[in-house]
Structure 1
Amino acid sequence: MTYAFPPGGLPGQNENPEGTAVFTEAYAVIPANTQRDIVTSFLPGWNGMRMWVLARPLTGFAETFAQYAVELSPGGGCADPEPDREAQAAIFVAFGEVRLSIGGARQTLTAGHFAFIPAGAHWEIWNTSDAPCGYHWIRKRYNRIESLNPLEAFVIHESDITATPMPDSNGAWATQRFFDPFDMRYDFHANIVTFQPGGRIPFAETHVMEHGLYVLQGTARYLLNKDWVEVGPGDFMWLRAFCPQACIATGDEPFRYLLYKDVNRHVSLDLGGPRQ
């Protein structure tokens, strides 16, 4: 299995600068070919690291989460990655291998591994190999419910999760869920959604969840609000709550994306406030 990641580098001077990036009040598309060396970010306390910030809380943009694509050089990493003690983390490795330590327990993650790190946990992440590695990092402040048991960290490989077909799709549309959808402790989900060639979302979904979608493999035509856009490996899409969406997988290989969505909390009655 392959998992797309920002290409870095810089396009040739003969490339058309117009591109296909889109930024609207309802959705955004950040194509892979815009994820280049000159748009990387760096953080204090890290060694041998650069990252692409794909989503961040911003007026008229993402409200509930931030999403990074992080590249580590050999020996790169950080002993205390998260400065916000209310922030949870979801890590999905795209290539190479990283050593993740959560509360002192160490584990080596390779391409396809997913890790959940609850808010307040101490964790470290390092590239101990002799080759670069890359992973996706989703951050969200935990919307705590005191009556629920504390969350626990876990690590799993996506190949160990059985895909659940959507009803009446004959397996052409299926989801691998990293979280138990009925466990109310979690206030967000991360899934891998797969469409076989020709598979589709057969109606324009319109719902309260905010979405971040990073295309891991394949191509599709994707409906975002009123617009059909062509997307492929490494493209990132952000959809605000209630933005209509649909999908038709194209090409001759599966279309797969890593999906974020906020779930399992009441809607706040304060404009722009968190759901409780």
Structure 2
Amino acid sequence: MKIVVLVKQVPDSGAERNLRADDNTVDRASANNVINEMDEYAIEEALRLQEAHGGEVTVLTMGPDRATESIRKALSMGPDAAVHVLDDALAGTDALGTSKVLAAAIGELAPDLVIAGAESTDARGQVMPHMLAERLGYAALTGARKLTVEGSQLTVERQTEEGYEVVTAATPAIVSVWDTINEPRYPSFKGIMAAKKKPVATKSLADLQVPADQVGWTGATTTVLSHSKRPPRSAGQKVADSGDGGTALVEYLSSEKFV
């Protein structure tokens, strides 16, 4: 089975994250950038499938030079190789443009299965797997808490607020996973050393035959017009119960449109 895992480098969610003042994009240069947490579960699931069914696992990343750090970290967990889509013209690319570039890269790799995290901690859009499935003509099995593979048949337990749904599809397909699906392994010293020698192919927009005017700032269909810091938390409103506390509470909730 040929598996591609989507990996994104994001600012560490445990630290303060900021937007740049000049273009309202995430300030990645001054952040501690790490692998998107949910993508580690995607890597682990791909490795478990490889151990059970054989094949190869390739990491796919789109990002600037510094994304190489996250690529090597991903490879140290066990994948066989990586593809890094790197091009100066990609700066400012929105989700729609990103899906176009990643779909072109996936099309070249021709995998049986693409696995992604259910969301990234910087954007939290949860749209990329659906966009890629539409562009590639793949089945989309999203929000998985469990994935079973039998030949070319995939079965997913799709996590919902009420429980889960059972969804099936044939390969090729794209599956997005939540952090309930497994427990990612820690890279071993052997894995870290081996990652330094694993092949990482660099692809430009020209290599993927994606026109530069369809991505970046020029091709973006969305933009952030302005941003501001979250306001400091204000003091709460106290309701003294003099026999009418319940009424006062309901009136307050109604004024805030909670009821």
Q: Which TM-score band (shorter chain)?
A: under 0.3
**Structure showing greater Rg:** 2
Which has the larger share of strand?
Answer: 1
TM-score by length of 1: 0.24
More helix by share: 2
TM-score, normalisation: structure 2: 0.25
Q: Which has the higher contact order (CA 8 A, sep 6+)?
A: 2
